[in-house]
Structure 1
Amino acid sequence: MMTRILIVRTSSLGDLVHMLPAITDIARHVAGAQIDWIAEESFAEIPAWHPAVHQVIPVAHRRWRKHWWDARTRQERAALRQRLAERRYDVVLDMQALLKSVWLVRQARGRRHGLDWKSAREPLASLFYDVRHRVEFWQPAIIRQRTLAAAAFGYAVQGPPDFGLQAITADVQVQPVALIMPSASRDDKLWPEDHWRQVFDHLQARGLGLRLLAGNAAEQDRARHLIQGRSQAEVLPRLGLRQVAGHLAQARLMVGLDSGLTHLSAGLGRPTIGIYKASTPVRTPLQGPAYTASLGERGQAPDAGQVMAAIDAALDSARDPVAPAVPAAS
């Protein structure tokens, strides 16, 4: 018997990566699960990578909100409303508990599940669910998502998280390169240039070339400035998500600021070191099947020595695909 499920988790990139293990759990524990997923158009590729996702329903809330009453926006919203009205789900599960996600949940047909008043980031959202679940707020996002899914479908969370990204990592040849993510959406997340250069020296002394990710012209300029005068170092052109995932899967390890791509690296099973400066790793630590280290804390960035020590630990544990994660450190 088929169980039709609609997942509402629209953004952001890192949050969608954190959601993937819950999808694996649902597929394992719910007989005949057919999972649809509503996701922001910019990140719709990520749900599609998981083999248990039947179809991805893209939304463009980030684009729509800038021109909410334009004719094109109204047409696209009407098309989404009609698409959701055409199918009835056994379970509609809101994994965000925000008023913007409730707007989508209310258009879907089916029994609506979500977080209760004390668990939701925006408690008012809980008023719009048929079934409400209590999930501890201050715990890692992956655990929180897996716990909510387990509560909605009546099973117990078991085992380490499985991101379902084997199609990307299958038959990949790891190369002697370190992938670097030195840019961020906010300047207060940036790490000092001299720290980066010490880390680059260390990586190259360990025999690794450097590939830097950059998403726009300013990030390209910053990345080129950081590696100026270095051989065996390059700034990658702006790439699509699938291309970035391919580079991540091939890298010996990744070092990056707290960003969605750093979390994707961990989910792909690459040794990954995350640098936290303007955010806390308490709720969003790196998690994955290989070595991870979530270093720093809001207002207290790690120094270069801490990051280099984590690099050594990652490289020395690379033969062990299930090396334990290093807890958040300041």
Structure 2
Amino acid sequence: MTRNPATRTSATSHHAAWARDPARPRVLIARMSAIGDTILTTPVACRLRERFPGAYLAWVVEQKSARFVEGHPAIDETIVLPRGWFVSPKSVLALRRRLSPMRFDATIDCQSITKSALACWATGAPLRIGCRGRYGSELSPWLNNRLVEPRRPHLTDRSLELLGPLGIEAAAEPYESVRWDLPRSPGAEQNVARWAPDDAFAVINPGATWDSKLWEMERFGEVAKRLGERRGLASVVVWGGDREQAWAKTIAASSGGWAKLAPPTSLPELAALLRQARLLLSSDTGPMHLAVAVGAPTVGLFGSTHPDDCGPYGAPHEAVLKRFQAGGRRARRKADNAAMRQISVDDAWGACLRVLDRTACQFPHAPAAMAS
């Protein structure tokens, strides 16, 4: 997908000495998947656009995660690839024939695995930046030619550190000020306005891609009940697929009448709903990162992944971790949800209260605390 960029000028424009045309550098960002990780990488595009307003910025991504890249105001072109493209030499060579004529000056491999590094290599760019050390895996250290060892663990922070060789220094401390600028869908916002609550509300997202990330559904329901009885907040439970719909029904049944199921929602509709939410309670999954990016105060629940790596980014959000699941990524993915079950209702409720109190001034018309 290509869009026609408007002429960009800025009093703070910088020249890129590493580019063929320093006033108009050409840069490719590579982040193939997943949806949440793609959202967490969008500050890289925003930072590049701020620094080099005249740049041509493209992003290579797989189809499933393309939704929040296509139409992003910082991106000039989105290159969408099918899942599994990299296992076919024919597909890799076809991609090289497609990308090489685009004459990129630099690539930023934010994923730093074989498939993302292959896409960067296919451009023929003279400067291909990727991760060194624990975050640079598979063949990426051999396919990229400028390696950066991130100092900070969070995915967004370490992605921003890859901009160092382009003259964009990241902050020394974690959770710097970033922009997300996710594209909005007026049609989706109109659809959500037809059924979203008129009064302040919370959103509960019980689903996750790993079973080891799941919290107990009755506990979600108890938090929804407390939000209603003690804070006057009704909850909307979002879901995708039959299994998650069944979970959402369990949450609603456990909420004392304070939670209701959302209708089936697309990703743009979910973004529209979250823009209005007073709070999101979720495990570590794409909707949690989407909520942060659109400005919804967020509480994330963690057990098989670590919030230092992928928690809700920065203030005013909060992550709850009681026990981290032992083992490597594959073992943690295949584990049961024992680590998540260590999180009590009181643990989640306390985090929700802190985030609600921390953000009260942002929602002056939301109900105040009620007598318990």
3-state SS of paired residue (2:33): coil
C-alpha offsets along residues 21-46 of structure 1, whole Å, 9 cap, x if unaligned? 12211111224122100111111121
Q: Name which one, 1 or 2, has greater alpha-carbon Rg.
A: 2
1:268-307 paired onto structure 2 within 5 Å: 268-288=294-314, 291-296=316-321, 297-299=323-325, 300-301=339-340, 302-307=343-348
For normalisation by structure 1, the TM-score amounts to 0.84
1:162 aligns with 2:179: yes
Q: Which residue of 2 aligns with 1:12?
A: 34
1:1-330 paired onto structure 2 within 5 Å: 1-62=23-84, 64=85, 80-115=95-130, 117-122=132-137, 124-136=139-151, 139-149=153-163, 151-157=164-170, 159-165=176-182, 167=184, 175-205=199-229, 206-228=231-253, 230-288=256-314, 291-296=316-321, 297-299=323-325, 300-301=339-340, 302-320=343-361
Compare the two structures and name the one with the higher strand fraction: 1
Question: How many residue pairs end up in the alignment?
Answer: 312
Letter in 2 for 1:144: R
C-alpha offsets along residues 32-76 of structure 1, whole Å, 9 cap, x if unaligned? 1221001111111212353111111111125x58xx67xxx96x7
Residue 123 of structure 1: CA displacement? 5.5
For normalisation by structure 2, the TM-score amounts to 0.76
Q: Which residue of 1 aligns with 2:335?
A: none
Residue 211 of structure 1: CA displacement? 1.2
C-alpha offsets along residues 254-302 of structure 1, whole Å, 9 cap, x if unaligned? 00011111011012111000001221112112115x5201111423432
Larger mean CA deviation between 192-201 and 162-171 belongs to: 162-171
Letter in 2 for 1:154: G
1:121 & 1:238 partners in 2: Cα distance?
38
1:135 & 1:270 partners in 2: Cα distance?
28
Letter in 1 for 2:69: P
Instruction: Specify whether residues 19 and 267 from structure 1 end up closer, same or farther in structure 2 by C-alpha distance, changes over 3 A only.
Output: same
Q: Is this contact kept in 1: 2:68–2:182, CA < 8 A?
A: no
Letter in 1 for 2:355: A
Q: Which residue of 1 aligns with 2:334?
A: none
* % identical aligned pairs: 24
Residue 78 of structure 1: CA displacement? 6.7
Which structure 2 segments of 5+ residues have no match? 1-22, 326-338, 363-372
2:262 & 2:97 partners in 1: Cα distance?
41
1:142 & 1:42 partners in 2: Cα distance?
20
2:121 & 2:293 partners in 1: Cα distance?
31
Larger mean CA deviation between 82-91 and 248-257 belongs to: 82-91
Which structure 1 segments of 5+ residues have no match? 322-330
Larger mean CA deviation between 50-59 and 186-195 belongs to: 186-195
Residue 310 of structure 1: CA displacement? 1.5
Residue 320 of structure 1: CA displacement? 4.3
Q: Which residue of 2 aligns with 1:326?
A: none
Residue 109 of structure 1: CA displacement? 2.9
Larger mean CA deviation between 159-168 and 193-202 belongs to: 159-168
Letter in 2 for 1:133: V
Residue 233 of structure 1: CA displacement? 2.7
Over the residues paired in the alignment, what is the CA RMSD in angstroms? Answer: 2.9
Q: Is this contact kept in 1: 2:278–2:297, CA < 8 A?
A: yes
Instruction: Specify whether residues 57 and 257 from structure 1 end up closer, same or farther in structure 2 by C-alpha distance, changes over 3 A only.
Output: same
